[in-house]
């Protein structure tokens, strides 16, 4: 089976993890700050806070920005459920903004209309979470202008997008957001097995997220409510969580970071081959905005409606041919949990229409040319 995504683990990666296992620290040691520094320097951000998943990063980011009961968080319906669930974890209410039919990212036009209505109803969001779907940045400059006008905070869900660029600058520099979140799940651009990070240029937000990942505990006398009693002393000053990353994970991440640009460049070569090989087939290939250099986590195509073959049939035939295709994503608002909250299937028609025709073809840095030809030939056969 050719999977839709796959990690690339080298001997250098293995050696870096083994070195940690042989050291004095397998968790909460020096590998974590090294990894955080590598991420922040790569992105051009001031601070990075490593945690055990991107979901945890989204959660502590929301809390650091003060999201709570009575507030609204808006995000894209075309994403994994974590982008919305993080708002619910804070006791806030969640809503969605439909997507652009070309980028599959949050539509700025739809966001403008929704903000105008929300302002009239007194329901403006406290936080908006644009999702850089498949690795392509949202139109962050326009979204930031709306944030300045309407007073909401921005968390970029860049789980797909480390190594990507927007307006020739690295995704994650936080020039247009308060916090950016990355994922290091095995199918992402680089991996720490499981893990995530939140980057920001705000020292206060970074300090809050650092405490929240470790039970709300601080050893910094500046934040304590009484005098430091000794070098052993700490205080829990807020309710936090055990969201820490281990040194083993961070060591793997440090090693993988050395090949990040190489991985993204390989994905672009694979994309170019797909674009060429699929030209004569009844599929819509992903459009790339010239303002964005995508990290290309995914290569989603849409089966054209007028080709006479259902998406499910194509999906099943590809899977039966040993091609591990997938679908990204089932719109969050169609999930039973959100349906019970009052959302209707047709609330976000562009996201729903995209989902009904979408298939993610295999995309990972070590996908061989002959494997890619096998994928395309199987797709061609299923569409014939």
Where residue 76 sits, what CATH number does that domain have? 3.40.640.10
Q: In the 3-class helix/strand/coil scheme, how is the chain assigned residue by residue? A: CEECCCCCCCHHHHHHHHHHHCCCCCECCCHHHHHHHHHHHHHCCCEEEEECCHHHHHHHHHHHCCCCCCCEEEECCCCCCHHHHHHHHCCCEEEECCECCCCCCECHHHHHHHHHHHHHHCCCCCEEECECHHHCCCCHHHHHHHHHHHCCEEEEECCCCCCCEECCEECCCCCCCCEEEEECCCCCCCCCCCCEEEEECCHHHHHHHHHHCECCEECCHHHCCCCCCCCCCCEECCCCCECCCEHHHHHHHHHHHCCHHHHHHHHHHHHHHHHHHCCCCCEECCCCCCCEECCCCCEEEEECHHHCCCHHHHHHHHHHCCEECECCCCCHHHCHHHHHCCCCHHHCHHHHHHHHHEEEECCCCCCCHHHHHHHHHHHHHHHC
Which pair of tokens denotes residue 26? 């397998």
297 plus 321 within the same structural domain: yes
Q: Tens digit of pLDDT per residue, the chain (384 long)?
A: 999 999 999 999 999 999 999 999 999 999 999 999 999 999 999 999 999 999 999 999 999 999 999 999 999 999 999 999 999 999 999 999 999 999 999 999 999 999 999 999 999 999 999 999 999 999 999 999 999 999 999 999 999 999 999 999 999 999 999 999 999 999 999 999 999 999 999 999 999 999 999 999 999 888 999 888 999 999 999 999 999 999 999 999 999 999 999 999 999 999 999 999 999 999 999 999 999 999 999 999 999 999 999 999 999 999 999 999 999 999 999 999 999 999 999 999 999 999 999 999 999 999 999 999 999 999 999 998
pLDDT at 181: 99
Kind of pairing, strands 93-96 and 127-129? Answer: unpaired
Phi and psi angles of residue 87, each rounded to the nearest 5 degrees, phi first: -70, -40
**Distance, CA of 84 to CA of 330 (rounded, Å):** 13
Task: State which of 232, 257, 282 marks the end of a domain.
Answer: 257
253 plus 264 within the same structural domain: no
**Distance, CA of 381 to CA of 314 (rounded, Å):** 9
334 plus 228 within the same structural domain: no
8 plus 70 within the same structural domain: yes
Which pair of tokens denotes residue 338? 């959100």
Contact (CB, 8 A) for 25 and 381: no
252 plus 294 within the same structural domain: no
Which pair of tokens denotes residue 292? 């964005």
Q: In sequence order, which residues have a C-beta less than 8 Å from that of residue 246 and are 6 or more positions away?
A: 26, 27, 28
Which pair of tokens denotes residue 214? 């470790």
pLDDT at 165: 98
124 plus 270 within the same structural domain: no
Phi and psi angles of residue 372, each rounded to the nearest 5 degrees, phi first: -65, -40
Domain count, the chain: 2
pLDDT at 364: 98
128 plus 275 within the same structural domain: no
378 plus 310 within the same structural domain: yes
Q: How far is CA 85 from CA 88, 273, 332, in A?
A: 5, 36, 10
314 plus 250 within the same structural domain: no
Residue span of the structural domain in which 322 resides: 260-383
pLDDT at 341: 96
| 0.85 exceeded by pTM | yes
Task: State which of 195, 230, 257 marks the end of a domain.
Answer: 257
The closest of 313, 284, 312 to 384, measured between CA atoms, is: 313
Q: How far is CA 268 from CA 26, 137, 164, 189, 315, in A?
A: 35, 15, 11, 12, 24
311 plus 170 within the same structural domain: no
159 plus 302 within the same structural domain: no
pLDDT at 227: 87
Which pair of tokens denotes residue 22? 């042989």
Task: State which of 207, 235, 257 marks the end of a domain.
Answer: 257
Q: What CATH number did the domain enclosing 362 receive? A: 3.90.1150.10
**Distance, CA of 235 to CA of 219 (rounded, Å):** 7
178 plus 161 within the same structural domain: yes
């Amino acid at each position: 089976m050719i999977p839709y995504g796959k990690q690339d683990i080298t001997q250098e990666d293995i050696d870096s993890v083994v070195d940690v296992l042989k050291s004095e620290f397998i968790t909460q040691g020096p590998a974590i700050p090294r990894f955080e520094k590598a991420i922040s320097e790569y992105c051009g951000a001031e601070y990075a806070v490593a945690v055990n998943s991107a979901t945890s990063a989204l959660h502590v980011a929301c809390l650091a920005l003060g999201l709570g009961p009575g507030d609204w968080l808006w995000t894209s319906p075309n994403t994994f459920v974590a982008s919305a669930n993080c708002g619910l974890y804070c006791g806030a209410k969640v809503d969605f903004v439909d997507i652009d039919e070309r980028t599959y990212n949050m539509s700025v036009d739809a966001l403008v209309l929704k903000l105008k209505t929300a302002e009239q109803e007194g329901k403006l969001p406290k936080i908006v979470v644009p999702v850089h779907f498949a690795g392509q940045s949202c139109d962050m400059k326009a979204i930031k202008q709306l944030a300045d006008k309407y007073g909401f905070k921005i968390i970029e869900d860049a789980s797909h997008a480390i190594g990507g660029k927007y307006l020739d600058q690295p995704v994650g520099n936080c020039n247009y957001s308060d916090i950016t979140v990355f994922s290091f799940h095995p199918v992402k651009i680089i991996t720490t097995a499981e893990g995530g990070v939140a980057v920001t240029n705000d020292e206060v937000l970074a300090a809050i997220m650092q405490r929240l990942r470790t039970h709300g505990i601080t050893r910094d006398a500046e934040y304590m409510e009484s005098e430091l009693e000794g070098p052993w002393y700490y205080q829990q000053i807020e309710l936090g969580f055990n969201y820490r990353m281990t040194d083993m994970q961070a060591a793997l991440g440090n090693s993988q970071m050395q090949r990040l640009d190489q991985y993204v460049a390989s994905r672009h070569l694979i994309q170019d081959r797909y674009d060429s090989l699929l030209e004569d087939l009844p599929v819509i290939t992903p459009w790339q905005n010239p303002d964005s250099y995508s990290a290309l986590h995914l290569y989603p195509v849409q089966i054209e409606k007028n080709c006479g073959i259902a998406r499910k049939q194509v999906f099943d035939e590809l899977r039966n041919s040993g091609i591990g295709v997938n679908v990204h994503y089932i719109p969050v608002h169609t999930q039973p949990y959100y349906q019970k909250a009052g959302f209707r299937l047709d609330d976000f028609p562009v996201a729903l229409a995209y989902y009904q025709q979408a298939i993610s073809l295999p995309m990972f840095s070590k996908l061989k040319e002959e494997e890619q030809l096998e994928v395309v030939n199987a797709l061609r056969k299923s569409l014939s």
